[in-house]
Structure 1
């Protein structure tokens, strides 16, 4: 697909070292956007950025941890120095650590909250001024939050993960009331079963086996499917906000 309206834009993608984030960064760069890739793993980031540059795109690898204020602030400074202001932000960084609630794994709960909710807020805070300024200048400005179908559909042992994604979905709806009047679009994307790195975080053998069974029965989306969706929604005319998009494998009810 070709999305000409992405040419010349400046994008930030979090969680860009693998999975959906990597795919989004690659697609946006292929469509002519300058892309700052944020994630914690320097080697993986450099590999992705190198692949983008080899294909003729512009990419900046920025090692950053969305759970750390100073790290995000340093990332913003580096992006501004290299690329200037940003007009497209994709909040994708996330972790999925399913386990029964009665196991009481506070460390996992905190990690999911810190990354999936507070991390999203840190990135929003970091780039709000850029997005609002871009829109005020008559340019297209986009905030895209990657949530999950788990925000709506309950799965046993995924209660805390689902709760964090429900928070992202609600946050997106609320931010639209604040940003929309200033011409900044907010899009909430909720993927269903997707073949990303999230499943590798699961340390519960039974739950990992369940997920593998779902992959076999339903056939997951590819990360590139979600990336294509992000490129599509952010390339619409600036007065069109595709506010909420749920993308499921055809076999997933």
Structure 2
């Protein structure tokens, strides 16, 4: 599918080594967007970048850890040196570690908070100036945050994960009050059941089986479905901001 208004833009995609992030990077590149792939797995990022370049696109692989502000800062400097300003940021990096709250897994809570919330803030801090400057010059500027239906729906044993995603959903709404008047669009996307690597992070066979059962019952979205949605919302005319989109498999209530 082809989208207008994307060719020639420069996008940063976090969590780009797999799943939704990888799919977003590939989809945007197909639309003529210069894509910066950011994640921790350098070799995997370079593999995806080579694929994009082989298909005629432009891609830069930048290994960085979103939980580390200094790492993100170095990545931002590398991006600007190669491509200049970024006008489209997709905050996708995330981790899902569900377990009963009574287990008291503080290390997992910290990892989810650091990646899902603080990581997004580090990226926003590093690139919000680019977005504001682009918009001030009359260009289109987008911040897209990938949240989750778990920000609203109740899933037992997913309390901390759901709380981090609720934080991203509310952060997105609040940022619109700051960035909207500057003509920077903020979009919050909340996928439902989606086939990604997130399940591989889980260490509870019982919860993994439960998730598989939900997938069997409702079906799942593909990562490419969410990537297509990112391309759609960011290709709208500059004055149109799709503020929040929840995307579910048709059978998921």
Query: What TM-score, normalized to structure 2?
Result: 0.99
- Per-residue displacement from partner, 1:132-190 (whole Å, max 9, x unpaired)? 00000000000000000000001000000000000000000000000000000000000
In the alignment, structure 1 segments of 5+ residues that lack a partner are none
Residue 105 of structure 1 and its aligned partner are, at CA, apart by 0.1
User: 2:209 aligned with 1:204, yes or no?
Assistant: no
Give the match for residue 76 of structure 1.
76
Name the Cα RMSD after superposition: 0.5
1:152 aligns with 152
Deviations 1:202-245 (Å, cap 9, x if unpaired)?
10010001111111111100000000000000000000000000
Please report how far the alpha carbon of residue 72 of structure 1 lies from its aligned counterpart in structure 2 after TM superposition.
0.3
Give the distance between the partners of 2:7 and 2:14, measured in 1 at CA: 20
> After the TM superposition, which residues 6-21 of structure 1 pair with which residues of structure 2 at under 5 Å, given as runs?
6-21=6-21
What is residue 29 of structure 1 aligned with on the other side?
A: 29
Which stretch shows the higher mean deviation, 221-230 or 38-47?
Answer: 38-47
Residues of 2 paired with 1:115 and 1:181: CA distance?
A: 28
SS of residue in 2 equivalent to 1:62: strand
> Structure 2 CA distance, aligned partners of 1:213 and 1:63?
35
Structure 1: distance between partners of 2:171 and 2:69: 20
Instruction: Give 1:78 deviation, angstroms.
Output: 0.4
Q: How does 1:35-46 map to 2 (within 5 A)?
A: 35-46=35-46
Show the counterpart of 1:110: 110
Deviation at 1:4, TM superposition (A): 2.3
Which secondary structure does the structure 2 equivalent of 1:193 belong to?
Answer: coil
Structure 1 outlier segments of 4+, above 4 Å: none
Partners of 2:55 and 2:45 in 1: CA distance? 16
Q: Equivalents in 1 of 2:251, 2:34: separation in Å?
A: 36
Q: Partners of 1:149 and 1:224 in 2: how far apart?
A: 17
Question: Which moved further from structure 2: 243-252 or 208-217?
Answer: 208-217
CA distance in 2, matches of 1:8, 1:175: 26
Match in the other structure for 1:61:
61
- How far apart, in 1, do the equivalents of 2:161 and 2:153 lie? 12
Distance 1:54 1:207 in 2: 40
In 2, Cα distance between equivalents of 1:62 and 1:3? 26
Tell me, what secondary structure is at the counterpart of 1:246?
A: strand
Residue 213 (structure 2) pairs with residue 183 (structure 1)? no
Paired residues, number: 253
Distance 1:205 1:65 in 2: 28
Residue in 2 aligned with 1:236? 236
